[in-house]
Structure 1
Amino acid sequence: MQWPQHSSELIGREPEMGALADSYQLAGESKPQAVIISGEAGLGKTRLVQEFQHGLPHEARVLVGQCVDLGPLATPYAPIVAILRALAADIGVAALMELAGPGGDALALLLPEAGVAGRPGPSPNRVLEAVSTVFEKASVSRPLVVVVEDLHWADDSTLAILRFILRAFNGGRFLLAMTYRSDDLHRGHPLKAFLAEAERGRYVKAVALARLDRGQVRQLMEAATEDAVDFEFVENVFARSDGIPFFVEELLGLGDCAAPGDLPSSLKDLLLARYERLEEPVQYFLRVLAAGGVSVRHSQAELAFDHPQEEFEASARAAQRARLIDVDGECYSFRHALVREAIHADLLPGERTRFHTRYAQALEAAGAIHRDAAEIAFHWDAANDVEKTFASSLAAMAQARANFAYSTAAKMGERALELWDRVIDPSVVAGIPQYRLMARTAAAHSLAGDGERSLAVIRLAAADPSATGTDRARLLAAQARYLGFNAKPGSDALLLEAIELTPPGSDDILRASLLNSLAARYMLEARLQQAVETSTAALSLSSSSGNAAEQSIAANLRGVSRINAGDIAGGRSDLEAAERLAQGDTQALLRFRVNYSDILNLLGLYSESIQVAEAGIVKARERGEERTSGAILSSNAVDPLFARGDWAGAQALLDRNLSLSPPSSFHAYLLRSRIWSTLWGGDVPGAEALFRQWQPLLRALAGVEMQSRLHLATLGAELAWAGGRLDAAWQEACFLLDPEFLPLPGYDLPLLAVAARVLAARRRAGARIDDDAGRLRAVLDRDSFWPTHPAWQALFDAELGGPGLDGGELAAWHRAGTFSAVLPAHLGPYIAWRTGQAEFASGRRSEAAATLSAAVEGAEGLGALLSARLARNFAAQAGLSLDGPKQRHGGDGLTERERQVLALVAGGLSNRQIGEQLFISAKTASVHVSAIMRKLGVSSRIEAAARALSGQPGKK
């Protein structure tokens, strides 16, 4: 009796189908969705997705990409390229490139047939942005469903694109469905980290397929046979299949195995059962096909088939009738990867070498569009041809690097290095010495984010005795660069040695670059005089050689260093020159905007800082560098946004950039702002938990950057102060008195204010602080040239005011309040709280209540809920009522706060000045003024002031 071989029904997958349908419905409402489908091999992941596709409405566009099984050297972007080609076939290449917009040149790296001239800058993020943009725009006109099959074979570049889409997708009717084989995920599998992150996403749904139970196996068997099946047969099939649908159908497909003894005894026997029943020519065809992969193009399979060609088509048809393969367009695909794996494992050594050799030759003969260097290297490696594996690995490395698939480039470089000593004249084949190949491999590792491996490989390269002169200088410079990327010390000594190896006249462009690298290290370490001297030397040398980009970098570094050292006018002149010299060189211009926006923020010019940073962010996004240059520029915008009082804008920018997982040092800058805003937002335990989690990264960066060390001391001290751990807070803050401390005024001054706050709190707790306070003041006086120094000094004086240095002097707090517009916005409500405390201590209960109420109002309007809670707690302890403003019983309807505002309006104060007086934002003051004018029935501030001065504000 011959059994049907495939059930037309999908058994036992109703909940999973419902989950997919729900996600598609949400996607149709312009809420982008993603579904990750997991399960053991044979559970029907692909079948589930296919059935889902069949049920979609006609308007939905479905694009499918298949990851390729090439072991650890998977072809970069394979499923993404297939998806883009399918979309191009549907709408045309020109329309596809129009969707990509400015990212068309990056997209052309994946689709050579697009033929776009020009190359993008060295950033993989351009590819990420381009693919994401295409999908987003394509999903506006009609729903788009993108399916990526078999993620367990995905290369790192493919995962990077999918990760970016999951984080950055903003709109469109878009659904991303991904499948993976859960039983293939060994410890350390690269997909595990991707899944752990992806499944935490807001719009991501995880669907895990389970094995069928006994009842579902019966249903599947009866659906396939279109007849009832007896109990014993169900038990036998259920026991042999373990409830895996593919195995159930394979067993039924054998047709004559109803008796227990006829069932295959092992998984391999089961997978090969249908194959072994075929004629030898068909088996041979399948063995050739298995060497090519799960899905093989007809042209390649035909070239690899070394029997008479008349057997090819007949064998293909027989294999299709036996339901071992499907024909999909130009490709032959195994019905299940497990069958392909079983057949490939059964190849004889001679067959393996012969088949893989022919596939490599077929791929080499393919046109440029379909020539895949990584796949060629895979086949030569499987064929055990060392010479050709070496050469093709080098070609694959170059191709992967050009396509920004840095992880694949690094792996191909490692493969070539492993074979170096087994190849005849490897340096001739490679065209470069071994140390230079090591350097390229190290660079690929660094760009792929594997910092430790990049350092290990570059150290080996630098240790090669054949690398001398400027070649060795370049290796040392690369090693210094990777140390900096990974927040490790030691860069300075390497750069100094590199400079010695590049004397004047040997290579002035390289020497200027090395001097700039050293100047940047000195600047970050706050060795300002050395930074000025070194950048001056770089500027002179690059000016002589006419290298405008290096001139811009040198002027940029010197300008920042001069400003921090006290020459503010000279430094700003340098920065203006840096901007002028950077015109036409986007990288130099981005570097200028990074440093200039930071120094403007430190100088208290918050709005200017935001403008410079935001202009840089736009340019970084256009270049596909949102995760690198864009991340540090975003960090530079976040701080002044908080300082100016735009907490919502700052938080939105933080969320966006943290979701993109920028490189570690840039990540650390953003994390510091996240922890700080969590603290001042009122969630002290949450901030402490974040700090514990990320403290190793923050401390590593602090070990190589003085600005990060000062930031860390400020953050650590504030966290400990908020948690009531005053001794720990002082341990952090007193870094200002440490011999290792080097001054950077823009970073010192906020820490000095926090240190004074902590000292005063310790004094109130009974500690002696006189000596420490004096030493802190000496540091404060050294920064007196800084433009914002008067404001920070006023706050410092208030914190340590009074004869007991306990911060109880009311006049000092009033003076500090006059600088609220200069200091960061969160300090306005904080100063109001402290002023209210001092007023209460002076016996001024009503003034204290009003000031504390202003502190609460200002803090809540801002989002700085820590100050609001502190003010409320103090008011409760002091027995002061902060229930809110009371209505005046005069019939005018003005609240007490509105009367305060009206009095200041009558005094001629602007909204900003009113805000400074009452510790509220200018926007809140404006709201109060509008309410006053509405209640008084007047149309201008002058009329309102006149009513106030007449003493009859309620009369008309």
Structure 2
Amino acid sequence: MLGDVQKTSVSPVFVGRSDELDTLADALERAAAGEPQAVLVGGEAGVGKTRLLEEFLAGAAAGGAVTATGGCVEIGEDGLPFAPLATALRALHRQVGDALTRAAAGHEGELARLLPELGETARESHDEDGRARLFELTARLLERLTADRTLVLAVEDLHWADRSTRELLGYLFRSLHSARLLIITTYRSDDIHRRHPLRPFLAELDRMRSLHRIELGRFTRAEVRAQLAGIAGGSQPDRDVLDRIFERSDGNAFFVEEIAASLADGCTGGLSTSLRDLLLVRVEALPEDAQRVARIAAAAGSAVEFELLHAVAGLGEDELIEALRAAVGAGILRATPDGDGYRFRHALVREAVVDDLLPGERSRLNRRYAHALEADPGLVRADELPARLASHWYHAHDPAKALPAVLAAAVHARRRYAYTEQLRLLERALELWEDVPKEVREAQRPFDHADVYPACGCDDEALRRLDLLAEIVVAAHMSGERERSLAVARKALRMLDETKDPLRAAWFWTQQGKAAEGLARGDGRAELGRAQELVRGLPPSPVHAEVIAQAAAWSAVHTPGPESYATAEQAVELSRLVGAESTGLSARLTLGGHRIDSGDVEGGLAEMRAVCARAVELGEVHVLGRCYINLASALEGVGRSAEAVTVADEGVEVLHRFGLRDSTAWVHGNKACSLYSLGRWPEAEEAAREALRLARTRMPRGAAAKRFALLALARGEWDAAERELAVARAHYGTHDPQPQYEIPFGHCTLELAAARGRLTDARAALDETLRPGLPAAAQRYAWPLLIAAATAEADARGLPAAEQGRAAVLGSIRAAAKRLPRFIPVWQAHALYLDAELLRADGCEDAHRWAEVVAAFELLDRPYELARARYRWAASLLGAGGEGAAEPLAAAHTTAVRLGARPLREAVELLGRRARLSLGGNRQTGDGLGLTPRERDVLRLVALGHSNGRIAEELFISPKTVSVHVSNILAKLGVSGRGEAAATAHRMGLFSPPVRS
């Protein structure tokens, strides 16, 4: 029954796997409905992953879906960046043609890094957003392609995937939300050892709800019988044959085929139990030329082009074709999907052949491949040539040839934003460095992007080891290997003589500072300071301009003031002198912010807008993100919230077009802040959620959490506010205490503590925030902080525990306020608000002062702050007799209800009930407090801080009765504890202390 196995060892009948096919079919159905799906198919080598995939893809294509497959390529440890996705996109290009070109319109240059057929690759971007932009544009390309079709992308052998491929796949899995797309990947589960790089990737994917896992098991005895019957053309196997094959294969589909073929060839017994020997049995049965071709093909990697194989094999074309025909007929090789070459039908066979190569034979074959590629580079695709040439020369053990090839491959990987693969290649170059003759090293040229580290290569034209270390620093930083970046920067600085090479040293110091900051080991100030010292007094240069521009940007967010302003001006001038426009744009943006803070608001805003326009015109993506982030923030800081939202919307559109995802997240966060100011809280919450969805790094995630905390505070959701503050703090960390983060943290912490009746904690938050001193240009954040502190003191006036230390707290608030500028309308309004609250905290309620506050905020579009001011104005009017209180109180209530500001609404309603005013402006009858007279007595004593025992003594009731009254009070006030009840009573003026006029 096995006589025909020589013709085909693969069953034409698909066996089993019905559950797995159902899972894939369900995923395809969901994808066709517009819900992107991902399926990971795992299983041991030979279990049938490829056959399952082929069967499903055939059915999907028959159903109208467009399918494309790419395989991860094994060529040593170098890998081919993005190889499977590039192959799949190439297959799509062949199938849908113009549709893919239209989907890529406007971004052909960037997407050409993955699919060279789209045209000339765009100028390389040396910023951290370049890679993210490529990923985002790829996602958008797939979204556009699936608008008119369902698309199935299959990636095989994920266990061989380079890190860039894994990261791009992960990005697609996470970021695609509305595409008719199904992505299927396969991997060998038995290859995923504890330290395999795929393991954490799989663990991360497991948390995604749209991803499904399929683990292929081995065949049962019945399924092996069906497989053998298919191989034999329908004839059922003898029971003895079935038992023998099932026992030896243990249900592994590939082993079933191999053992069946061996038996058909007459190997009735004595098959080696060694897996390698089993896999080699059929190779060794081939004619001599076919065996030789199989060995040569194995040394090439997962696949080899026909013309390349012809060049290396040394056979005539007819002899080569006959050898290939024999290998294909025996099921050893198969044609590649594009029809240009051959690959082993199963990777296990290739691995066995490679392992069987004689010592020296593999290096000799690699040398022949390298010579063939150098003689005719057109034998392989241009985008694969550098990595393959580097791999062949390296494994040929020829350092003199390997070094230039590896360096060239590293440059190519960098241009595709495959920074991890670039780093691996550069590390290999460093390994080869000392084994290469000096004349070979000196023949290498510096890397071709002086705008990344212009200090390198500045004193000679030859590649130096320091140039190589500089490239490693950048690649490690870009690939997220901050530890490696820091270590190599330190190593370079130990090698450098700073007196002889100050520019190069300055560059490495700035990189060390970046890495240390990224690793939360400091704020980078010391390293940047050292770089400044090194360039001081030197002639203008790109390095000099970059160091000063970075110093200006650092000072702007840490120590803004006159010195920082001067540094920014110097950076702008230096950039102009040396023609470093990109650096100059960044410096001008920093300078524009300083001009605003110093009083030239219109001039500063105009400068920032001009930088934005120029950055868009030039496509300077690493400046674009800062442009819209900073401009929207600056507009919000001067009270132009509506303009800030408009700029943010424009920024989202522009940054999305350029694929700058993290910068887009930042802009959404700034938009949320402005929408909050405008009283558009549901929109603010949505913008913060969008920021959180898009953010890949901790800073924009922290900003989004801070927005959620602010909303929760205003809504009276204390527990939620506390959670979000903790999340924000975790993202920001404590290694880099920037005022723009620390002051708002102090404000929110203080307000939350005050709301819960913890005045001591509120004072501690204020003291901690003010202790370092308020830097210049901190007014945007400092005014709300000081107002919250004064409000807490005013609300707590009359509490015995609040009196001690009050004068000192109010004094520190006044002292801090004196240093804050007031020349912007929004700052003037805040200053009036603070003055009124300080008077209230002193017991001097002044209705005229509150009227001024209301008038100031009526000129601004800040409804929440206006409503709070109206509430306080109404309360002061009631304290003075009540005339005119109804109208501002009703207006405050309308706003509080619309916003969902529960604490403010409750305070307004309670004040209205106490004054017997309806919120429509009419007097009410009845007490309307919701508390019985006895409960009012108990609450008054609770607000004074008395214990249940002391309350019982004063009111001549039992402690148990007091406890019941306290429980009722807490329920009626909607608070969770005695401290919060006391804070609520004082905040609402339930038992107002004497007021001095």
Instruction: Give the structure-1-normalised TM-score.
Output: 0.81
Contact 1:504 1:511 in 2 (8 A): no
Q: Could you say what secondary structure the match of 2:194 adopts?
A: coil
Whether 1:160 aligns to 2:163 is no
Distance 1:869 1:191, change over 3 A: farther
Deviates more, 1:594-603 or 1:469-478: 469-478
Distance 1:218 1:2, change over 3 A: closer
Q: Could you say what secondary structure the match of 2:106 adopts?
A: helix
The separation in 2 between residues aligned to 1:835 and 1:196, in whole angstroms, is 57
Deviates more, 1:17-26 or 1:456-465: 456-465
Aligned AA for 2:26? D
Partner of residue 731, structure 2:
697
Q: Could you say what secondary structure the match of 2:360 adopts?
A: helix
The separation in 1 between residues aligned to 2:341 and 2:872, in whole angstroms, is 75
Shift of 1:132: 2.5
Partner of residue 969, structure 2:
none
The partner residue of 2:679 within 645, 665, 670 is: 645
The separation in 2 between residues aligned to 1:874 and 1:189, in whole angstroms, is 62
Distance 1:589 1:222, change over 3 A: closer
Whether 1:251 aligns to 2:259 is yes
Whether 1:366 aligns to 2:381 is no
The separation in 2 between residues aligned to 1:428 and 1:815, in whole angstroms, is 76
The separation in 2 between residues aligned to 1:239 and 1:851, in whole angstroms, is 87
The partner residue of 2:295 within 287, 291, 309 is: 287
Partner of residue 408, structure 1:
421
Partner of residue 903, structure 1:
none
Partner of residue 24, structure 1:
28
The partner residue of 1:339 within 349, 363, 376 is: 349
Partner of residue 606, structure 1:
641
Distance 1:239 1:766, change over 3 A: farther
Aligned AA for 1:331? G
The separation in 1 between residues aligned to 2:493 and 2:105, in whole angstroms, is 42
Partner of residue 474, structure 2:
443
Whether 1:560 aligns to 2:593 is yes
Aligned AA for 1:366? P
Aligned AA for 2:104? A
Partner of residue 934, structure 2:
none
The partner residue of 2:112 within 108, 113, 118 is: 108
The separation in 2 between residues aligned to 1:679 and 1:250, in whole angstroms, is 69
Distance 1:714 1:61, change over 3 A: same
RMSD (CA atoms): 4.2
The separation in 2 between residues aligned to 1:233 and 1:877, in whole angstroms, is 93
Partner of residue 748, structure 1:
782
Partner of residue 85, structure 1:
90
Q: Map 1:370-389 onto structure 2 (within 5 A).
A: 371-389=384-402
Q: Map 1:316-715 onto structure 2 (within 5 A).
A: 316-328=324-336, 329-364=339-374, 365-367=376-378, 369=382, 371-425=384-438, 427-431=441-445, 432-465=463-496, 468-486=501-519, 488-489=521-522, 491-503=524-536, 506-543=539-576, 550-565=583-598, 568=601, 571-572=604-605, 575=608, 584-587=617-620, 588=623, 591-627=626-662, 629-674=663-708, 676-677=710-711, 685=719, 688-689=722-723, 691-692=725-726, 695-700=729-734, 702-703=736-737, 705-715=738-748
Contact 1:236 1:260 in 2 (8 A): no
Distance 1:202 1:756, change over 3 A: farther
Shift of 1:398: 0.7
Partner of residue 2, structure 1:
2
Q: Map 1:287-326 onto structure 2 (within 5 A).
A: 287-306=295-314, 310-326=318-334
Partner of residue 147, structure 1:
154
Whether 1:777 aligns to 2:791 is no
The separation in 1 between residues aligned to 2:721 and 2:77, in whole angstroms, is 40
Distance 1:585 1:492, change over 3 A: farther
Residue by residue over 1:589-638, the C-alpha shift from the partner in whole angstroms, topping out at 9 and shown as x without a partner, is 654433222111111211111222332333323333233x4343333323
Aligned AA for 1:79? P
Give the % identical residues.
31
Shift of 1:420: 1.3
Residue by residue over 1:244-299, the C-alpha shift from the partner in whole angstroms, topping out at 9 and shown as x without a partner, is 33333333333369999756424334333433443443333222111112222212
The separation in 2 between residues aligned to 1:696 and 1:53, in whole angstroms, is 45
The partner residue of 1:191 within 195, 198, 203 is: 198
Q: Map 1:842-881 onto structure 2 (within 5 A).
A: 861-862=898-899, 867-868=901-902
Q: Which structure 2 residue ranges, 5 or more long, are not aligned?
A: 446-462, 923-997
Shift of 1:396: 0.6
Contact 1:760 1:799 in 2 (8 A): yes
Contact 1:661 1:667 in 2 (8 A): yes
Deviates more, 1:189-198 or 1:545-554: 545-554
Partner of residue 38, structure 1:
42
Contact 1:458 1:479 in 2 (8 A): yes
Distance 1:694 1:149, change over 3 A: farther
Distance 1:804 1:317, change over 3 A: same
Shift of 1:573: 6.4
Shift of 1:59: 2.7
Alignment: residue pair count: 877
Distance 1:537 1:871, change over 3 A: same
Aligned AA for 1:176? I
Contact 1:39 1:209 in 2 (8 A): yes
The separation in 1 between residues aligned to 2:919 and 2:277, in whole angstroms, is 84
Q: Could you say what secondary structure the match of 2:107 adopts?
A: helix
Q: Could you say what secondary structure the match of 2:74 adopts?
A: coil
Distance 1:452 1:671, change over 3 A: farther
Shift of 1:735: 2.6
Shift of 1:580: 7.8
Q: Map 1:49-128 onto structure 2 (within 5 A).
A: 49-56=53-60, 57-92=62-97, 96-116=100-120, 119=123, 121-122=125-126, 123-128=130-135
Contact 1:38 1:207 in 2 (8 A): yes
Partner of residue 17, structure 2:
13
Shift of 1:320: 1.6
The separation in 1 between residues aligned to 2:344 and 2:537, in whole angstroms, is 64
Contact 1:451 1:482 in 2 (8 A): yes
The separation in 2 between residues aligned to 1:41 and 1:675, in whole angstroms, is 50
The separation in 2 between residues aligned to 1:509 and 1:2, in whole angstroms, is 75
Contact 2:517 2:736 in 1 (8 A): no
The separation in 1 between residues aligned to 2:398 and 2:545, in whole angstroms, is 45
Q: Which structure 1 residue ranges, 5 or more long, are not aligned?
A: 889-956
The separation in 1 between residues aligned to 2:753 and 2:841, in whole angstroms, is 26
Instruction: Give the structure-2-normalised TM-score.
Output: 0.78
Shift of 1:685: 4.8
Q: Could you say what secondary structure the match of 2:146 adopts?
A: helix
Partner of residue 282, structure 2:
274
The separation in 1 between residues aligned to 2:755 and 2:211, in whole angstroms, is 36
The separation in 2 between residues aligned to 1:298 and 1:765, in whole angstroms, is 91
Shift of 1:477: 3.2
Aligned AA for 2:2? Q
Contact 1:455 1:482 in 2 (8 A): yes
Shift of 1:534: 1.3
Aligned AA for 2:307? S
Contact 1:31 1:173 in 2 (8 A): yes
Shift of 1:784: 4.4
Whether 1:203 aligns to 2:210 is yes
The separation in 1 between residues aligned to 2:601 and 2:821, in whole angstroms, is 13
